[in-house]
Amino acid sequence: MKLCVIGNSHAGMLVRAAREAPPEGVELTFFARSGRGPEGVRMRNGQLRAVTAELKRALARFGMPESVDLRAQDAFVLVGMTATVFSVLPMLQGHRVFGWPPEAGDGARRLVSEAALEAALVAEIAGGLAAEYVARIRRVSAAPIVLVAQPAPSEAAAGAGARHGGLRRILRAGQGAAVAACLARAHARVFDGAGLHLLAQPPETLVGDAFTAASWMRGAGRLNPEGRLPDEDILHANAAYGGLVLDRVLSDLRKIVAKSDG
């Protein structure tokens, strides 16, 4: 199986996992960049090609190709490049959501419906880089696409300190499940009909719906082969998490292919 992985810095977990335990029978191609993801590309005759000097330098630094033939791929994995819990936090800063578990200080915030929150997320997802890549792929290929969201923040974010107050409020109010469900519905609305499979975060990696257990985050690496993220990083998952996700991706893809063949 030829599998192309396109993403932002969160693709690093799959890079590390594939390097430590290369999946049998899978030819992996990575096309990723930190930040929003690989911007500065052009499509021509089914070829996805980096056209900016910045992207070319980044791909070279990570040991990734400057171009990928999308028509030659059997499947695609998009990592990150879409709305996350951090997209919800600014909305919750000044609003309370009707029907969600209450939290301290709710009386000072304006009431908003869950439908309005979901609509705002739909707009962000539809304008995001993941949606752009889905459109590019679908212009030249009907191959399966799996979208892997970045993991929930590390449970370390729930500790004491001034940072990450919004995440702690979600935890205290027990709103993690509601946030995750709202994000899932918004993604399903945007990508319905695109032949895209949304891979949920493995439940065994979660703590209280809103956070990832620290053991799955500790020791995360960067996209470049030898890079390592600071110990205080709360956003990126490690190779163990990447291996778990890669196994799920391949399992889901095999089921999708078997279903289409049947």
Residue spans per domain, the chain = 2-261
Residue 170's pLDDT is: 79
DSSP alpha helices (H): ranges in 95-233? 114-126, 129-140, 165-173, 176-191
Q: What is the pLDDT of residues 37-76, one digit of tens each?
A: 999 999 999 999 999 999 999 999 999 999 999 999 999 9
Q: Is 160 helix (H, G, I), strand (E, B) or coil?
A: coil
CATH hierarchy code of domain 2-261: 3.40.50
pTM: 0.93
Pairing of strands 2-7, 41-44: unpaired
Q: What is the pLDDT of residues 187-218, one digit of tens each?
A: 999 999 888 999 999 999 998 778 899 999 99
Q: Is 60 helix (H, G, I), strand (E, B) or coil?
A: helix
Which amino acid, 134? V
Distances 157 to 56, 92, 94, 134, 148 between C-alpha atoms, Å: 34, 17, 21, 32, 22
Distances 208 to 86, 135, 219 between C-alpha atoms, Å: 17, 34, 22
Q: Is 214 helix (H, G, I), strand (E, B) or coil?
A: helix
User: In this prediction, what percent of the chain has a pLDDT beyond 90?
Assistant: 69
When computed from its CA atoms, the radius of gyration of the chain, rounded to whole angstroms, is 19
Quick one: pLDDT band at residue 160, thresholds 50, 70, 90?
A: low
d(CA 262, CA 257): 9
Q: Is 68 helix (H, G, I), strand (E, B) or coil?
A: strand
